[in-house]
Amino acid sequence: MNYLITGGCGFIGCNFIRRLFAEDADVHVTNIDKLTYAGSEENLADIAATAADRYRFIKADIGDATTVEEIIAGGKFDILINFAAESHVDRSITSPADFVSANIVGTANLLQSAREHEIPRYVQISTDEVYGSLGDTGYFTEETPIAPSSPYSASKASADLLVLAAFHTYGQDVVVTRCSNNYGPYQFPEKLIPLMITKALAGEKLPVYGDGQNVRDWIHVDDHCAGIAIAAATGKPGEVYNFGGNNEHKNLDLVKALLKSLGKSNDLIEFVKDRPGHDQRYAIDASKARNELGWIPTWNFEAGLQQTVDWYRSRVE
C-alpha cells in the first residue's frame, strides 16, 4: 500500500505511521507536514533512518492548493489520510484564521486533488468536539447533530461537512472518523495530560480550568490508530465512525491521578479562570465501530496512563 499521510509528524499521525511500519514490511508512506510548533521530524527519525526507501517526508502546507496539487499529481497513492490540523482550542480562540486555513481550506484542497487524481480512498481524522457538549448523561453517536462550541471545533465540523459533501456530490470514496481525547507518547505538551506531567516534573503549578469538573472520555492513541486502520481498510464510503475509550474522568480527578503517579503533592494544583465556551462533558458511543468494523480498544486506562507518564519522565529526567 502506498499511503499519503498529512500531519504525520504530529501526535496521532506519527503514532499511526509507526504502526504502519511495524505491521507491514512493504508499506510506503509519503508524509506531508507543515512542521508547526506541535509537529517534529524527530517523532519519526528512526523510521526515516531505517526505512528510507519506503518513507518520504515533504515539508508543505496543505492550505497551499498549488503545492498540494503538485505533490498528489507527482505520486501514485492508494489512500490519503488527513491528520493535519490546528487542534488546540485555546489557540483557536485567539487565532481562528489559522484554523480556517489548515482545517477547512486544507481539507478542501486535499479533497479536490485526491478526486482529480483518482486516489481510491480519502480518510478524514476528526474529533468528538464537533458534537458540542453533553450534560451528565448520554453519549455522542454518529447521528448526533453537530453543534461546535469553539473556532477549533467549528473548523473541524466544517471540514467534515466538506468531506461528506464530496461523497454525496461527486461519489468520492471518503470515510470520517471522530474520536474522544487521545493520550499516549509523542503528544505536544500543551494538551492536558502531557502539560500536567511536564509541569509536575518541573515542580511548577498545574493550571486547572474552572472547578475542574469538566468530563472527558480518554482513549489511548494506539487504540485510536487501530480504529483508523480498520476504518481506512473496511469502512463504508460516506460513513462516519466514532472511537472512544469508555474512560470518563473529571479533569480534576485525572490531574490528581497524575500527581499520585509522579509522587507529587496536590498542592501543585492551581485553579485558573475557565476558558470561553468550555464544553462540560464529552462521551463517545463507539458501538457502530465495534459492530461494523470489529474494533475493540485494548488499553486499560490506568496502565496506559502509567505508560504515558513513564514516557514523558524518561525524556525529562
The residue ranges of every structural domain in the chain are 2-182+220-246+282-299
170 is catalytic: no
37 is catalytic: no
What is the percent of the chain with per-residue pLDDT over 90, rounded to a whole number? 94
Q: What is the pTM of this model?
A: 0.96
Mean pLDDT of 138-145: 96
Q: What does the block give as the cell for 273?
A: 479562570
**Residue 98's beta-bridge partner residues?**
none
Whole-number Å distance between alpha carbons of 85 and 38: 10
Query: Which CATH superfamily groups domain 2-182+220-246+282-299?
Result: NAD(P)-binding Rossmann-like Domain (3.40.50.720)
Whole-number Å distance between alpha carbons of 108 and 51: 31
Q: What does the block give as the cell for 250?
A: 473529571
C-alpha neighbours within 13 Å on the C-beta side of residue 256 = 9
154-185 pLDDT per residue, tens: 999 999 999 999 999 999 999 999 999 999 99
pLDDT band for 277, please (50, 70, 90 cuts): confident
32-42 pLDDT per residue, tens: 999 998 899 99
For residue 192, which of 255, 271, 129 has the smallest C-alpha distance?
255
Whole-number Å distance between alpha carbons of 178 and 276: 23
The pLDDT value recorded for residue 243 is 98
Q: Which of 55, 139, 152, 241 is catalytic?
A: 152
**Residue 241's beta-bridge partner residues?**
177
Q: Which of 33, 86, 128, 279 is catalytic?
A: 128
Q: Which of 129, 173, 217, 279 is catalytic?
A: 129
Instruction: State which H helix or E strand residue 80 sits in.
Output: strand 79-82
183 is catalytic: no
61-74 pLDDT per residue, tens: 999 999 999 999 99
The pLDDT value recorded for residue 32 is 98
